[in-house]
């Protein structure tokens, strides 16, 4: 009698676990579909002929026509613009982490006057519309020779990416017990060594996240790029500032051309982004 009940209980709990597992997997699949479906639709339209793009009802299978994509790839100067985009995004990444991470560390570890003022100042760069700042910045750049350089544009993009770098590194530093650092000091490490050996590995994901944001922000920014670069146009400014007014099929192809490199970049850094798991689970 008791044995039977025990077995029944075992069965039901296994059932529940199995059902829970099923719900868990289903949820993940639904969320993936939610994210991927619009991307798939973009791909369909980018890989279809103009007639298919304009047709109704629309087909949910691409026509595998690469003419629209080829149109963009055939632009003279695409390679150079791609290089410029990567260069600008690279400098933006380096600058925003180089300037932002120390600030994030200071905000998390010290109490000092002007702390909130600094935080607000950093955030203001995101809260104020860039198109209005572009004019005084462009005047300044033309006067100083920064105009039409990758560095100049990267400086502007850095102001946009810096709040992300500062706040994200701040929130991660704040999550690391200061005892960890203190322990390293008592073991004879200098402050710098302790930071380097103990804290840095722990905030690697935060730095990677900041890098991703910096890259993506710089990559997708159109307005400043259109104003501040002429010969050294970025890919976005070069090809895509006008896709809105271009025919449908080119809109989608252009959108796809813009999206792919950003996706490759995120894919490349994903293991840093989520490196944390190994460490925290130790």
Q: Which of residues 4-23 bind other proteins (CB under 8 A)?
A: none
For position 39 contacting other proteins by CB under 8 A, the verdict is yes
Handedness of CA 190, 192, 198, 199 (dihedral sign): positive
Query: What is the phi/psi pair of residue 43, to 5°?
Result: -65, -40
Question: Which tokens hold the place of 243?
Answer: 């896709």
Return the number of the residue (4 or 139) whose C-beta is nearest other proteins: 139
Q: What is the distance in angstroms between the CA of the first residue and the CA of the last residue of the chain?
A: 45
Contacts to other proteins from residues 187-246, by CB under 8 A: 196, 200, 202, 204-209, 212-213, 216, 219-220, 222-223, 226-227, 230-233, 236, 239-246
CB of 13 to other proteins, least distance (A): 15
Quick check: 125 and 162 in contact, CB under 8 A? yes
Contacts to other proteins from residues 144-173, by CB under 8 A: 145-152, 154-156, 158-159, 162-164, 166-168, 170-172
Question: Could you tell me how many residues of this chain bind other proteins (CB under 8 A)?
Answer: 154
Q: How far apart are CA 239 and CA 234, in angstroms?
A: 8
Handedness of CA 131, 135, 137, 138 (dihedral sign): positive
Q: How far apart are CA 250 and CA 45, in angstroms?
A: 9
For position 105 contacting other proteins by CB under 8 A, the verdict is yes
- For other proteins, the binding residue among 108, 198, 214, 218 (CB under 8 A) is 108
CB of 66 to other proteins, least distance (A): 16
């Amino acid at each position: 009698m008791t044995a039977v009940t025990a077995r029944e209980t075992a069965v039901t709990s296994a059932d529940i676990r199995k059902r829970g597992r099923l719900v868990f997997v289903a949820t993940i699949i639904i969320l993936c579909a939610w994210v991927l479906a619009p991307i798939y639709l973009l791909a369909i339209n980018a890989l279809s002929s103009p007639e298919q793009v304009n047709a109704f009802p629309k087909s949910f299978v691409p026509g595998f026509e690469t003419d629209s994509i080829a149109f963009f790839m055939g632009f003279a100067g695409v390679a150079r613009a791609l290089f410029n985009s990567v260069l600008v995004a690279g400098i933006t990444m380096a600058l925003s982490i180089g300037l932002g991470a120390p600030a994030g560390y200071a905000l998390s570890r010290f109490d000092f006057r002007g702390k909130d003022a600094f935080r607000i100042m950093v955030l203001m760069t995101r809260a104020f519309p860039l198109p209005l700042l572009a004019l005084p910045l462009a005047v300044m750049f033309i006067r100083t020779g920064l105009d039409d350089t990758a560095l100049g544009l990267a400086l502007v993009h850095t102001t946009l990416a810096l709040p992300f770098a500062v706040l994200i590194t701040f929130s991660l530093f704040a999550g690391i017990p200061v005892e960890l650092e203190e322990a390293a000091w008592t073991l004879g490490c200098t402050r710098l060594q302790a930071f380097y050996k103990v804290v840095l590995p722990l905030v690697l994901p935060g730095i990677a996240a900041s890098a991703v944001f910096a890259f993506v922000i710089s990559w997708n920014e159109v307005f400043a790029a259109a104003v501040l670069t002429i010969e050294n146009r970025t890919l976005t400014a070069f090809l895509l500032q006008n896709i809105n007014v271009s025919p449908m099929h080119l809109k989608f192809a252009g959108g796809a051309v813009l999206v792919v490199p950003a996706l490759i970049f995120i894919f490349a850094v994903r293991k840093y982004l989520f490196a944390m798991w190994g460490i925290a689970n130790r």
